[in-house]
Structure 1
């Protein structure tokens, strides 16, 4: 009998299939437009390779994916393979919903993962591996070359010659003086008080020696409200007061559409819009070095996990190792625009290999990406930090007070959950 890796078009169908078709594997995947061509390719090539062995892959993305996962978790109807968003992995693992997958992956794959990708999938004091992503995302400064040159601003090209914080401030002042520049820097305030505020702004803090929680003691007091973080957010607040930052009310397209902003701090998902809007004037600039840690990029994305209820691990192992092969990881990158998660896949990528348009992104992912805290309290951690950042960049508030409030919120949640054992034990 053929064993089918199947992801259904609707939750009810998927749940019925996973229980009614004994012995078959079910895999659910996200319903993203950029991912669809990749999943079509994954299905076709997997079937060509393993169909004769009795393993067949059928990939049909599920709409309203997070809601489907939540409903199936409650009903006990999770399939054998699922996708998760990296920052959510720890809370799902703590709840017992997924199982470790380190023994299912070829050791050569684990060894080849970029450092931040491996850190993203590693959970708990025992450092077990629960989650693997075929890609990484990252933050970078996108620049309008014509504006930068007109303002006499040096354009860094590598991590080694990134702007310091002072140099970036000077660049913003020069750009602000150009008549065509309304605000020099877009930091996507229009994204609101969501995950972007952690993904996009914690790298500045980490570059300056800060963080949003102590990753050894798992306490926020003294870390999220540290002098280093106060210093970092005060600089950003000063830039905002000086009129350097595009306000949330101005929308999304000041950099690539109206071209009244000269720089944009955002991730690689904006590449198509930036390329279309600026053409040859688009330049990629490494993150600024806010402090002695140097340039830091964000990290994270969707990847593969295995529910605790999954028992047909032999077939799951075949699937995971195929999906995480160098060739498939490179294909995912070139299809979706994200950075390959394996070092050996980067040279295979047209976009991110040597001389490719995204080579700087790949180098940042390999050297300078920092994973968001892999802890069950992460939903509370990120919300507390994001709220503080939005408040700091929305008015003349006291930075230390905002961060003190964030520290109390996080530590109270951790205390209320007895430290989220086995953390804190």
Structure 2
């Protein structure tokens, strides 16, 4: 989640044009093989769950002479490795039957013909959370299903807040979130008390974390990144609601409530009282920082709309267009994202459910912190823009954040938005 590689739309379109059929794969034991590539290591806890679920798939469908084979292709630190192999396989038409892909890249893969629709084969879509269907859908067809969900919230150190005079019973909840102004007041209290930044907003990120975590502020203000039909950025991204949202972020920097260069692991080591981070930090806290007594609160909201919006989305499974065994490839996708797989993964790592059926199970088992994320996701989760031009759109958004925070905090936000809205629009026009 922390490191993302953006897929080149033009590259995918070019590669897809050379895709052709491949011969069926049959094992020496006479069983037809369904091949699958995943983006993580088999030594990773998530990878171990995948391996276990594939073994269960093979046992369940042994009477049908079907066998799934999983290949682990870990991503490198800059997001390469896995995507490099996928791109290489596109040129030689050697893609497997099933692949994993990052949520916002659904439209790019679908438009270029790399992945195929699942609607004909997956019939229990009503069990999927709306955010999962939204992220995996392109032009009204479901192309991919998320293996897990994720979200972002504000971690707070209970002791440090109490020592600053904050009554923990008055903190915001998903049902009663604070406005940006109320959150700024909390940050001032904490900064005055400890003479240091109140929170690490992770504004130093140079990757998808910026888009993933910060777009909810725009949505809360009733703004958007691109139009709902995916065709417009100019006149959408550079409108007043986006200015208001980015003014809030810029204020956090100008007032010193957050910083461009935070102390490493400042929250985890109790140097900063708060941290803006994703659900994955729960696992880190449980594993490495067990002595820190912390809680989680939801996003602050626009004082004009009072509307809570949170991010959603993660990696997904999809079947490739070149698969000659689409019925079984789709069954494998469905199996890897079904209730049992989802519950197994949620119990192993800090992963939020993608189905209502698994959510009912995990809500009873999750910690208080995880249930805040779960409730926020279920009630307010919002997928990132669905567009074949997403790689360029997200880069423009990330550059926008850099421009208003890293280079010149006094830079006119409207002018910055106008510039990057044009970049987005150019990419959208080319992609469509």
Structures share a fold, TM > 0.5? Answer: yes
Mapped pair 1:279 → 2:291: yes
CA contact (8 A) 1:37 1:335 kept: no
Equivalent residues, number: 393
128-137 vs 212-221, which deviates more?
212-221
The equivalent residue for 2:203 is 189
Choose which of 268, 283, 302 in structure 2 pairs with 1:256: 268
Q: For the structure 1 residues 352 and 214, does the alpha-carbon distance in structure 2 shift closer, same or farther, using more than 3 Å as the test? A: farther
Please give the residue correspondences for 1:397-416 in structure 2 after superposition, counting only pairs within 5 Å.
397-416=411-430
Report SS of the residue matched to 2:374: helix
Mapped pair 1:123 → 2:138: yes
Report SS of the residue matched to 2:120: helix
Report SS of the residue matched to 1:189: coil
CA contact (8 A) 1:104 1:320 kept: no
The equivalent residue for 1:3 is none
TM-score, normalised by the number of residues in structure 2: 0.86
Q: CA RMSD in A?
A: 2.1
The equivalent residue for 1:241 is 254
Choose which of 6, 18, 21 in structure 1 pairs with 2:25: 21
Question: CA deviation digits over 1:101-123, x for unaligned, max 9?
Answer: 111112x2x10111111100110
Choose which of 301, 311, 315 in structure 2 pairs with 1:289: 301
Report SS of the residue matched to 2:89: helix
Report SS of the residue matched to 2:402: helix
| Alpha-carbon distance in 1 for matches of 2:393, 2:337 | 30
CA contact (8 A) 2:33 2:69 kept: no
Choose which of 302, 317, 320 in structure 2 pairs with 1:307: 320
Choose which of 81, 85, 93 in structure 1 pairs with 2:102: 85
| Alpha-carbon distance in 2 for matches of 1:342, 1:356 | 20
| Alpha-carbon distance in 2 for matches of 1:312, 1:279 | 51
| Alpha-carbon distance in 2 for matches of 1:372, 1:199 | 7
| Alpha-carbon distance in 2 for matches of 1:78, 1:112 | 29
Question: CA deviation digits over 1:249-273, x for unaligned, max 9?
Answer: x35411112x221111111122223
Report SS of the residue matched to 1:191: coil
Unaligned runs of at least 5 residues, structure 1:
1-17, 421-425
| Alpha-carbon distance in 1 for matches of 2:429, 2:299 | 35
Report SS of the residue matched to 2:37: coil
Unaligned runs of at least 5 residues, structure 2:
1-21, 27-31, 75-80
CA contact (8 A) 2:146 2:354 kept: yes
TM-score, normalised by the number of residues in structure 1: 0.87
The equivalent residue for 1:319 is 332
Mapped pair 1:361 → 2:361: no
